[in-house]
Structure 1
Amino acid sequence: MLIKTIFSGFGGQGVIMMGYLLATAGMYEEKHVTCLPSYGAEVRGGTANCTVVISTEEIASPVASEPEYAVLMNNPSLFCYQNQVQSGGTIFLNSSMIESRPIRGDLEIYEIPVNDLAKQLPGNKVSNIIMLGAFIKKTGVVSFDTMTQALKETFGHKNPTVFKSNKAALLLGYDYLE
């Protein structure tokens, strides 16, 4: 198994955190993992992306050329990465912010209105975790329980409320897609 994923959006949308959490969960499942974050010069509001490669074998390169999956949180990310996804690959799009749709017909597309869904939860800053829940549901790259463990290790020590809201967001995204 070799899974390549790119997460992309504006700085501040949590795409780096999505990559970090996926990589952490992959390590908890004793898989080989690389995580390569990239920030624009602006940090908040600029472009940010994170490539994650997860494998049962050693990984030769952290570069995710022709990823199987793209998780796209804004319009510029769609325009930038839709043509890099391999034929037959999958795009998860934030339909709350992305007005355009992929022009390629050889991709599976999941439209998740994560910003709208986030309004159902306290704090409203969990759209990235909602998207991550939908992503792990459809890909099966890591289990829900393992991702919950990664969330707890990352957020649990800060404030129990932060962990609880992120766990609720993960479940909301996971349950959103059938």
Structure 2
Amino acid sequence: MNEEIIIAGFGGQGVLSMGKILAYSGVMQNMEVSWMPSYGPEMRGGTANVTVILSDSRISSPILKKYDTAIILNQQSMEKFEESVKPGGLLLYDGNGITRHPQRKDINIYRIDATEEASKMNNSKTFNMIVLGAYLKIKPVVSMDNVMSGLKKSLPERHHKLLPLNKEAITRGTEIVKSIQTV
């Protein structure tokens, strides 16, 4: 198994955290892992992305031009990374603020309305966990137990009381993800 992922959106959406949780989860499953963040100096409100590679074998390089999966959280990222998904790959996007929806016919496309769902949960900080749940529903590359262990490892101890809310958000993401196109 080798899964090459790009997660991209605005700073403050939990892009880097989502990647870190996936990376920790892979480590807990004895996978080879690469986590490579990229963000502008403005951080919150600026663009941010992270490349995560999860593999059963050694990873030769963390630098990628094509991805198995792109998780897109804003229009700028859609424009930048839609063409970077390998044919037959996966593009998962949050519909909020997307003005030009994915156009490709050779990839699997899923939509998650995570912004709307986080609002219904009265906690905008659950946004990235809803998206993560949607991704893991489509591609269960790591187990839920390891995701929760990764989440616990990445959250400061003072925030561990939020673990049940995050688990609820992940579960909700698995329930509301919509297939737009499969190839």
| 1:108 corresponds to | 108
| 1:11 corresponds to | 11
Whole-angstrom CA distance in 2 between matches of 1:91 and 1:78: 9
Deviation at 1:156, TM superposition (A): 6.7
- More displaced stretch, 166-175 vs 43-52: 166-175
- Residue identity (%): 35
| 2:163 corresponds to | 163
3-state SS of the aligned residue for 2:110?
Answer: strand
Whole-angstrom CA distance in 1 between matches of 2:148 and 2:121: 17
1:27-74 residue CA offsets vs partner (Å, 9 max, x unmatched): 000000000000112111111000001100000001132101000000
Q: Which has the higher strand share?
A: 2
Whole-angstrom CA distance in 1 between matches of 2:158 and 2:63: 32
| 2:181 corresponds to | none
| 2:35 corresponds to | 35
Bigger relative contact order, structure 1 or 2 (CA pairs below 8 A, ≥6 apart):
2
Q: Aligned letter for 1:143?
A: S
| 1:95 corresponds to | 95
3-state SS of the aligned residue for 2:123?
Answer: coil
Structure 2: runs of 5+ lacking an equivalent: 179-183
| 1:142 corresponds to | 142
- More displaced stretch, 86-95 vs 158-167: 158-167
- More displaced stretch, 145-154 vs 67-76: 145-154
Structure 1 residue runs of 4 or more that deviate by more than 6 Å after TM superposition: none
Q: Is the 8 A contact 1:134 1:174 kept in 2?
A: yes
3-state SS of the aligned residue for 1:88?
Answer: strand
Distance 1:41-1:113 versus aligned 2 partners, 3 A rule? same
Q: Aligned letter for 1:46?
A: G
- More displaced stretch, 49-58 vs 97-106: 97-106
Query: How many residues are aligned here?
Result: 178
Whole-angstrom CA distance in 2 between matches of 1:160 and 1:32: 26
CA RMSD after TM alignment: 1.4
Q: Is the 8 A contact 2:20 2:154 kept in 1?
A: no
Whole-angstrom CA distance in 2 between matches of 1:118 and 1:84: 28
Whole-angstrom CA distance in 1 between matches of 2:81 and 2:177: 23
TM-score (norm: length of structure 2): 0.92
Deviation at 1:136, TM superposition (A): 1.1
| 1:119 corresponds to | 119
